[in-house]
Structure 1
Amino acid sequence: MSTYTIDTATSRATPTPAPMKRLTVPAIRNRKGKEPIVMLTAYTMRMAELLDPHCDVLLVGDSLGQVIYGLPSTLPVTLEMMIAHGAAVVRGSHHAVVIVDMPFGSYEASPERAFESAARVLAETGAAGVKLEGGATMAPVIEFLARRGIPVMAHIGLTPQAVNALGGYAARGRSNAEHARIIDDARAVTEAGAFAIVAEGVIETLANEITAAVSVPVIGIGASAQCDGQVLVTEDMLGLFERTPRFVRKYDDLASRISAAVATYAAEVRSRDFPGAEQVYAARD
């Protein structure tokens, strides 16, 4: 692992540390039933810097495969990709707890393999913990990691890494059997030592039941406003993509604003209005 020393006063790539204390995993764990937890995804230093003052948790999601790299799913994302982006987000934040997704194939084989991967993530990024998908099946892995000092956020319901097995991205918990299984998943990962749970794409009544059934915070995405917190993909809520999931509320339309700004720039370049007198250097007398 390389160590970099950067002059924060002159580098646009690295912000000057803000005078605030970073939240901790126990602080997030203790928010159960209290003020809702604000969580968004971040993949880059600059986005982390912008989100950090407003968020309790920044998630370096494996959704970066689609959002950043244009991949068809999260499955091709590698551990190296997660580490690189996780380190960038940690460098850009000073307040939020940073959690890094464990990518597909980095933890399922055995608890020992999961520990090796998670230890790399924490050591090479400085993040506070990891997130992994799966319910009762992954409980032994979560327990193995938690007992060895690695904070784990669980992820149940619609689990994108298992989309092929699930048969698509439809909401989960509509059948009685699936409803009961997801409740059991929530209890299992809590008992295994997860400090929080992401419940994705589950019907509202099930999300409410999960939140009431476990002693750790439940962070919803496409779930219920009654969860202990909410998470969205930042680029979705900012309106950077034309197509967004049904459960996303767009808080801006940055795609249109960026397009308009670039169109103005292009027109000014072609008309030679840019650069102007303020953007060029005059010869010295």
Structure 2
Amino acid sequence: MPTHQPELRTVNVTRYAKPLREGGSLPALVEADDDFLYVLKFRGAGQGAKALIAELIAGEIARLLGLRIPEIVFVTLDEAFGRTEPDEEIQDLLRASEGLNLGLHYLSGSITFDPLVTTVEAKLASQIVWLDCLVTNVDRTARNTNMLIWHKELWLIDHGASLYFHHSWDNWEAQSQRPFVQVKDHVLLPQASELRAVDTEYHAILTPERIQAIVSLIPDEWLTNESTPESADEQRQVYARFLEARLASSEIFVNAAIDARHALI
């Protein structure tokens, strides 16, 4: 059983290299004061801090489960970057994102996973499908796989669309019990023939203590929301309870995924 004591480093942006114009969130490639390059996800973009929270929780759960995820770091963005950027759209994004953001280590030289070129073995496919059902990640389709091949290994990226319950927030109990119907479009579902075995294995790893340790990483400033009366600690507990409830009823999403796979093949 893997051990995992999550702890994220904090780095400071020293150079805005270029925007990565993918989707609506306008992530950017930046250099930090540790001399590494990161894909920076901005707090001031599209879905705001919720996308960063989803990226953090889903990514660290994936890491705990033994899947390959680029290192996730907190990234501090100084106000000076907004003043020197000539592109007005990017300038607004930088200004709205001053302070703490999220970054993923840039996998230089990686290529986008292509299901027609690379075959994923059944165990790994089942692990990834199970993860995405747990965290309700709608964004791992053939059109947008959000997986990379780096040094001949499969890496998972971009989990900001996960945990979509937190966009409505008030019915999380009901949402935790629902099947993940979008699994029918999952790019790896045809190969995911070991979902029940993975479910058993992952139950042993995802203890309440480990879930609590991951949600405790969420910074207070990402949980400041005028439309949500709960305190930062109360919001963290909702995330933990959602995940614990979803895990406790995992047979619902596992059975739904198996049914969807049978319908495909």
TM-score exceeds 0.5: no
TM-score (norm: length of structure 2): 0.29
